[in-house]
């Protein structure tokens, strides 16, 4: 080592963190500068206060329900082996990244006044009709998306329990309750702060779902106000202030969560196949059956509803679609690669900080990926565009920003997949690496890669699928060369072609399903 | 007495057939090359592997129909014997009642077991605050409170330095004598148990090639596998 | 080469490494027109318009699209002086004030002559290319007797359920706010409060609302008086009708303007003039499902026959809309969340 003692090169993760914070700051700065000192009309009026209270309640409730169902589902799936289990896992992966507009129409197709449930009730001669608008629709859609995601993350985590612990549990005759208390709960709890923070933020900033299924402007999020400030009032100062307010709320809540729920230490482990002794418990069989049935009843119909698009499939197969699919694919691959690279760097930095006992810094790295969600993508894009506009043409800016903003949007998902695996790797090999002077890239390739390869497949799949179905910034920069599948979906929706939009929605869901199935298969291949 | 009689296990790439005896209250060392099937033998006795054929009994009782928890077996591994979120006393308490709802007498037993492994007053520490040797002694204390008469130790002290390792083996051996436990221990360093073990079983290629008094069992002339192993493991002159 | 994205991305990264190539000598100038996506989509009139214009202009017409009118202006606001747009086509009259305030639009200088619209046109910055009446569309097989006035719709507690658009995010949604203001005046808040229980939901945009209506979630949807023409022409479906309201209907006028920053001002002006000519206007009815601003000699297609003809057309001027926007939205918010 020729490096001076005490002077260390910055961790790549530190650079990523700085870059992300810089991008957010740049975006805010550009928005404020473009406002040309016009005073922001940020009266926190009665309506805004009501929206805030609603948003907090709605997000908290959605988070609790999603995590409870997600955890129960993960435990049931961990305990049970059945035909089609891989399909269920792939379906969860597809559900987790379903585009909001597709979710909205699925909820309506199943639970709407003329939906499946209503038809069934009609057939049974029942007079009452379900009404998804309002709380039921919002919660249903959020739980559908986030319980699916939480279940995937929890299931991955549960598989990390040391095989020795399972053997001890068998020898010591752990009851199902003791198994949960000593084996499952500590693992679930270690995932909780990060996952809860992410889900909360997703629900807090959820826009189309809350607005459309909410049934009235009383049920809205701050994001709506930001959207209208940017696109209708063209009042950038107000947009920046509202975005700042949203960021501040999310930041304080995330920090509170991390402070309230301390991370349990991770046991380093060799992952041998170990049978769960509680799988045979008859009461758990019943419970798992019920959990799978409930989750199935909530999740499966909404996925199946997208199949209605199959009728119009023949009509959408044309050059436009092939172009859009190719563009979507390229954008998705670039964004997913970028998101995974950022996630690995940040997780590495978090581990490095943890190793130096700088737990606060480590926690900050851990919070950051979710926190970027609090910056409204629309404001981020707008700000970045303003910052770039002197240097590149608008068309070029679109090319650059689309994968970048999509990658930032997918980062927290990728991070939740990757961080625990890298943490395990660090606890297991950290000292050896330190002794061998194995750092940076070489350490990543030699040590972390074998541990991270499996979750990386999952992270890449989820990031790619998210980006594939993301409409957000294409709204602004789409068209011309930048036509993606979601863009095409809206274009057809705008031309009265609801059925063709449904068919494109089906394609998006099918792509997510395929990606997810592929990732599941790769994971299982490794498990031997 | 523990009797393992022609117990056969089969995998696509590995076949094992074990026969082994251990007198009640004896210490039996299990030695052999890595990948030879030592851990598998212990796993089978604990009930994690089910033999296709053969018999296995302890003190006249057939073990094969029993689930791991029903067998008279306590077990200890090289790593991960403790749950990191529980303190030492709680980890020991799991050996009495996994729900950890212990009464006064049971808590006293936990304290007594910790004292027996020289960890008096360490009950409130978490595994992360204990040294490697201390962690293994907590695991040993748990094996003691479970009152299981057959203790299986799978490379339990492989990660400790030679001095500490011998000290730990001495603790195990003393407890064995004091409480009449039967101990099976897999070990890379047979010289540590030559004077304590009643017998030594040499395991390679899924077979117990030899079971005999320790020094005789390691005679290189008995099997090329033993010669190869001894050449590496036992320094000349031992 | 329509799918240029992968290439463009490569080229962009390549360009960062290489010195910028000298601007290629352009034989044909390019006219860049910003519009919303469905205008140039597979079913929009955009492609045909480009072909027809290019046949006479000696130029290339390049469409650049944003999702909807709001995005269009949002993008323009972002790009500011650096915008490459020569013409912006597709925002509606209700955003004209905000658009004008950007200071990016130049006077069009086109002599329009007499236009076929319910209102006179004298705006010097923006020209209309099509228009329609806001109207509530319903399914005649599900709703026998639709309300006959906006007042009946709003205040009859036993009236039909409706799906509307959020006026903060949607052009027709905001149009309804203006319509209700024109009809109810001071009583607007009370009217909205009376309607709210029968509003299934307020969606982000027109597409979502119309989709929900077609899925059967509401008896009526806020759309345009021309919507039934689509169902007749494309689906041969006659069950959808727009309800004619006694008070009159609010106008939705789609407009275009040329930018101050254009480097081909003559071409931009030519395009705006072309926009009101037969070649452009004849593509509007069954391409964009609106009334052409300048009726082509062939008249309206068959599918437009029998559409409702409102007695009065409301249209507030742009300055009034800009000035009242916040107050109207606040009134609406207060009334609907009360």
Strands C162-165 and C127-139: unpaired
Assigned token pair, A303: 């996925």
**The pLDDT value given to residue A270:** 45
Q: What is the pLDDT of residues C99-121, one digit of tens each?
A: 998 899 999 999 888 899 999 99
pLDDT-based confidence at C24, cuts 50/70/90?
Answer: very low
What pLDDT score was predicted for residue A268?
A: 44
β pairing state of C220-224 and C162-165: parallel
CB B217 within 8 A of CB B187: no
Check residue C234 and give its pLDDT: 92
- Mean residue pLDDT of chain B comes to 89
State how far the Cα of A343 lies from the Cα of C68, in Å rounded to an integer.
Answer: 34
Chain A nearest-CA distance from B172, in A, is 19
**CA distances, C141 to each of C216, C219, C309 (Å):** 11, 10, 22
Listed in sequence order, the residues at least 6 apart from C153 whose beta carbon sits closer than 8 Å to its beta carbon are: C136, C147, C159, C160, C162, C195, C220, C243, C245
Q: How confident is the model at residue C18 (pLDDT cuts 50, 70, 90)?
A: very low
Whether there are 3 or more C-beta pairs closer than 8 Å between C and B is no
Residue C278 pLDDT: 93
pLDDT given at position A44: 61
Any C CB within 8 A of A37 CB: no
Q: Confidence class of residue A40 from pLDDT cuts 50, 70 and 90? A: low
Percent of chain A with pLDDT over 90: 26
Structure tokens at C237: 């479906």
**Rounded distance between C-alpha atoms, residue A425 and residue A444, angstroms:** 10
Entry field: residues in chain A: 528
- What residues of C are in contact with residue A403 (Cβ under 8 Å)? 9
Average pLDDT on A305-328 reads: 89
pLDDT winner (highest mean) among A186-200, A422-436, C249-263: C249-263
The contacts of residue B170 (CB under 8 Å, 6+ apart) are: none
- In this predicted model, what pLDDT tens digit does every residue of B134-144 receive, in sequence order? 999 999 999 98
Q: Do C169 and A228 touch (CB under 8 A)?
A: yes
Query: Residue A522: which pLDDT band, with cuts at 50, 70 and 90?
Result: confident
Q: What is the pLDDT of residue B113?
A: 92
Partner-chain contact A234 C74, CB within 8 Å: yes
Listed range (A396-400, C18-22, C74-78) with the worst mean pLDDT: C18-22
Q: What is the pLDDT of residue A425?
A: 72
Q: Could you give all domains of chain C from N- to C-terminal order, each with its CATH number?
A: 27-131+253-304 (3.40.190.10), 132-251+309-337 (3.40.190.10)
Phi, psi of C142 (to 5 degrees): -115, -25
Pairing, β B14-22 against β B2-11: antiparallel
Cβ-based neighbours of A143, under 8 Å, separated by 6 or more = A62, A65, A66, A69, A298
Q: Which residues of C touch A496 (CB under 8 A)?
A: 43, 210, 227, 230-231, 234, 289
Higher pLDDT, B234 or A299: A299
Structure-block tokens of residue A118: 């209503």
Average pLDDT, stretch A327-340? Answer: 92
Q: Find, among A344, A524, A336, the residue nearest to A422 by Cα.
A: A344
Q: Is the pLDDT of residue A276 over 90?
A: no
Find, among A513, A510, A470, the residue nearest to A490 by Cα: A470
Count of CB atoms within 10 A of residue A111's CB?
Answer: 24
Q: Average pLDDT, whole number, for chain C?
A: 89
Average pLDDT, chain A: 83
Domain boundaries, chain B: 2-72+148-233, 83-147
The nearest CA of chain A is from the CA of C68 a distance in Å of 8
The gap from C-alpha B216 to its chain's centroid, in whole angstroms, comes to: 22
What is the SS3 assignment for A497-524?
CHHHHHHHHHHHHHHHHHHHHHHHHHHH
Q: Which of A113, A478, A481 sits opposite C4 (nearest CB)?
A: A481
Contacts of B206 (CB under 8 A, 6+ apart): B9, B14, B15, B16, B17, B18, B36, B37, B40
Determine whether the interchain pair A218/C210 forms a contact, defined as Cβ–Cβ distance below 8 Å: no
pLDDT given at position C2: 42
CA distance A445 to chain B (A): 26
Average of pLDDT values for A374-392? 80
Q: Rounded to two decimals, what is the model's pTM? A: 0.85
Q: Are A200 and A255 in contact (CB under 8 A)?
A: no
Output the pLDDT for position A146.
Answer: 95
Indicate yes or no: CB of A173 within 8 angstroms of CB of B69. yes
Beta bridge partners of C130: C254, C292
- Cβ of C230 within 8 Å of Cβ of A496? The answer is yes
Fold of B2-72+148-233: Rossmann fold (3.40.50)
Select the residue of B43, B69, B80 nearest A269 (Cβ to Cβ). Answer: B80
Across the interface, which of A114, A322, A496 has its CB nearest the CB of C216? A114
pLDDT at residue B185, rounded to an integer: 95
Share of chain B above pLDDT 70, in %: 97
Q: Does B87 touch chain A (CB under 8 A)?
A: no
For residue C1, what pLDDT is reported?
Answer: 37
Helices (H), C65-138: 69-79, 96-101
Q: What is the pLDDT of residues A125-184, one digit of tens each?
A: 888 888 899 999 999 999 999 999 999 889 988 887 788 888 888 888 888 999 999 889
ipTM of the complex: 0.83
Q: Which residues of A touch B95 (CB under 8 A)?
A: 172
Per-residue confidence (pLDDT) for residue A225, from 0 to 100: 80
Q: Looking at the predicted structure, is the pLDDT value of residue A434 above 80?
A: no
Q: Label residue A480 by pLDDT band (50, 70, 90).
A: low
Residues of B in contact with A266 (CB under 8 A): 84
Helix, coil or strand: residue C283: coil
User: Closest partner residue to A164 among B74, B80, B146, by Cβ?
Assistant: B80
Chain segment B155-213, per-residue pLDDT in tens: 888 878 888 888 889 999 999 999 899 999 999 888 888 889 999 999 999 999 999 99
Side-chain-side CA neighbours of residue C219 (13 Å): 15
What domains are defined for chain A? 12-37+48-267+279-527 (1.10.3720.10)
Q: Is the pLDDT of residue C26 over 50?
A: yes
């Amino acid at each position: 080592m020729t490096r001076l003692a005490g002077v260390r090169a910055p961790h790549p993760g530190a650079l990523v963190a700085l870059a992300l914070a810089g991008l957010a700051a740049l975006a805010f700065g550009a928005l404020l500068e473009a406002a040309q000192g016009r005073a922001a009309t940020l009266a926190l009026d009665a309506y805004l206060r009501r929206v805030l209270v609603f948003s907090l309640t709605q997000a908290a409730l959605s988070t609790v329900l999603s995590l409870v169902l997600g955890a129960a589902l993960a435990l049931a799936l961990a305990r049970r082996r059945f035909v089609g289990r891989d399909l269920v896992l792939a379906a969860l992966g597809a559900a987790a990244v379903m585009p909001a507009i597709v979710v909205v129409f699925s909820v309506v197709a199943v639970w709407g006044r003329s939906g499946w449930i209503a038809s069934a009730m009609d057939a049974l001669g029942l007079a009452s009709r379900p009404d998804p608008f309002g709380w039921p629709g919002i919660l249903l859609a959020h739980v559908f998306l986030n319980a699916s995601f939480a279940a995937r993350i929890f299931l991955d985590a549960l598989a990390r329990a040391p095989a020795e612990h399972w053997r001890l549990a068998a020898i010591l005759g752990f009851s199902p309750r003791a198994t949960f208390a000593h084996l499952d709960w500590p693992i679930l709890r270690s995932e909780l702060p990060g996952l809860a923070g992410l889900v909360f933020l997703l629900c807090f900033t959820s826009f189309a779902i809350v607005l459309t299924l909410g049934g009235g402007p009383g049920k809205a999020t701050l994001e709506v106000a930001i959207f209208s400030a940017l696109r209708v009032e063209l009042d950038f100062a107000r947009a920046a202030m509202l975005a700042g307010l949203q960021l501040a709320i999310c930041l304080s809540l995330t920090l509170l969560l991390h402070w309230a729920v301390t991370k349990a230490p991770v046991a380093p482990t060799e992952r041998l196949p170990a049978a769960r002794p509680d799988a045979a418990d008859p009461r758990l069989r019943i419970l798992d059956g019920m959990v799978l049935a409930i989750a199935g009843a909530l999740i499966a119909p909404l996925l199946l509803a997208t199949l209605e698009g199959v009728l119009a499939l023949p009509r959408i197969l044309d050059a436009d679609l092939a172009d859009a699919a190719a563009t979507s694919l390229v954008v998705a691959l670039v964004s997913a690669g970028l998101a995974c690279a950022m996630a690995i760097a940040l997780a590495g930095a978090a581990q490095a900080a943890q190793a130096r006992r700088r737990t606060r810094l480590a926690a900050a790295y851990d919070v950051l990926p979710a926190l970027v969600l609090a910056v409204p993508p629309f404001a981020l894009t707008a700000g970045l565009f303003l910052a770039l506009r002197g240097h590149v043409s608008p068309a070029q800016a679109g090319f650059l920003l689309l994968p970048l903003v999509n990658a930032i949007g997918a980062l927290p998902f990728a991070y939740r997949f990757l961080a625990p695996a890298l943490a395990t790797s660090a606890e297991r090999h950290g000292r050896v690496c330190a002794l061998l002077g194995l750092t940076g890239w070489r350490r990543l390739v030699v040590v972390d890669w074998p541990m991270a390869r499996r979750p990386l497949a999952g992270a890449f799949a989820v990031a790619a699928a998210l980006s594939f179905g993301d409409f957000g910034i294409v709204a602004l920069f789409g068209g011309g060369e930048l036509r993606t599948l979601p863009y095409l979906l809206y274009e057809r929706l705008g031309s009265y072609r609801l059925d063709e939009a449904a068919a494109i929605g089906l394609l998006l869901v099918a792509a997510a399903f395929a990606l997810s199935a592929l990732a599941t298969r790769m994971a299982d291949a490794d498990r031997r | 007495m523990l009797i393992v009689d022609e117990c056969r296990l089969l995998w696509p790439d590995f076949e094992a057939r074990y026969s082994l005896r251990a007198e009640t209250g004896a210490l039996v060392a299990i030695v052999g090359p890595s990948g030879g099937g030592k851990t598998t033998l212990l796993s089978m006795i604990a009930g994690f592997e089910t033999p296709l054929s053969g018999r296995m009994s302890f003190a006249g009782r057939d073990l094969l129909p029993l689930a791991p928890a029903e067998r008279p077996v306590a077990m200890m591994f090289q790593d991960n014997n403790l749950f990191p979120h529980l303190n030492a006393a709680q980890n020991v308490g799991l050996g009495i009642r996994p729900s950890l709802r212990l009464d006064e007498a049971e808590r006293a037993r936990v304290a007594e077991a910790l004292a027996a492994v020289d960890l008096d007053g360490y009950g409130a520490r978490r595994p992360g605050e204990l040294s490697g040797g201390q962690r293994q002694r907590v695991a040993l204390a748990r094996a003691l409170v479970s009152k299981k008469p057959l203790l299986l130790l799978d490379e339990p002290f492989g990660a400790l330095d030679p001095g500490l390792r011998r000290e730990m083996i001495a603790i195990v051996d003393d407890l064995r004598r004091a409480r009449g436990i039967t101990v099976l221990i897999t070990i890379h360093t047979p010289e540590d148990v030559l004077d304590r073990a009643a017998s030594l079983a040499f395991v390679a290629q899924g077979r117990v090639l030899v079971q005999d008094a320790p020094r005789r069992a390691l005679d290189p002339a008995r099997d090329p596998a033993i010669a190869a192993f001894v050449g590496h493991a036992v320094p000349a002159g031992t | 080469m329509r799918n240029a994205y992968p290439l463009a991305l490569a080229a962009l990264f390549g360009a960062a490494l290489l010195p910028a190539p000298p601007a290629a000598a352009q034989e044909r100038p390019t006219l860049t027109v910003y519009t919303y996506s469905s205008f140039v989509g597979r079913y929009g009139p955009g492609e045909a318009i480009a072909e027809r214009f290019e046949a006479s202009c000696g130029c290339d017409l390049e469409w650049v699209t944003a999702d909807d009118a709001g995005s269009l202006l949002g993008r323009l606001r972002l790009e500011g002086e650096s915008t490459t747009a020569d013409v912006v086509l597709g925002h509606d009259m209700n955003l004209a004030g905000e658009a004008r305030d950007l200071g990016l639009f130049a006077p069009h200088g086109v002599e329009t002559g007499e236009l076929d619209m319910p209102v006179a046109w004298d705006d010097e910055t923006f020209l209309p290319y099509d228009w329609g009446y806001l109207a509530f569309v319903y399914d005649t097989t599900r709703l026998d007797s639709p309300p006959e006035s906006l007042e009946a719709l709003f205040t009859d507690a036993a009236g039909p359920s409706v799906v509307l658009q959020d006026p903060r995010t949607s052009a027709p949604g905001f149009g309804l706010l203006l319509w209700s203001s024109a009809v109810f005046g001071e009583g607007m808040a009370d009217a909205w409060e009376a309607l709210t229980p029968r509003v299934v939901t307020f969606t982000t945009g027109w597409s979502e609302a119309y989709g929900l209506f077609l899925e059967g979630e509401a008896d009526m949807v806020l759309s345009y008086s021309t919507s039934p023409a689509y169902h007749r022409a494309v689906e041969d479906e006659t069950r959808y009708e727009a309800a004619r309201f006694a008070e009159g209907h609010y106008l939705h006028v789609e407009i275009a303007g040329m930018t101050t920053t254009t480097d081909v001002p003559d071409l931009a002006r030519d395009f705006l003039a072309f926009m009101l000519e037969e070649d452009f206007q004849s593509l509007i009815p069954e391409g964009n499902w609106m009334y052409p601003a300048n009726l082509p000699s062939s008249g309206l297609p068959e599918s437009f026959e029998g559409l409702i003809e409102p007695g009065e057309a409301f249209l507030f001027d742009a300055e009034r809309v800009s000035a009242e926007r916040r107050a109207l939205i606040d009134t609406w918010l207060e009334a609907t969340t009360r």
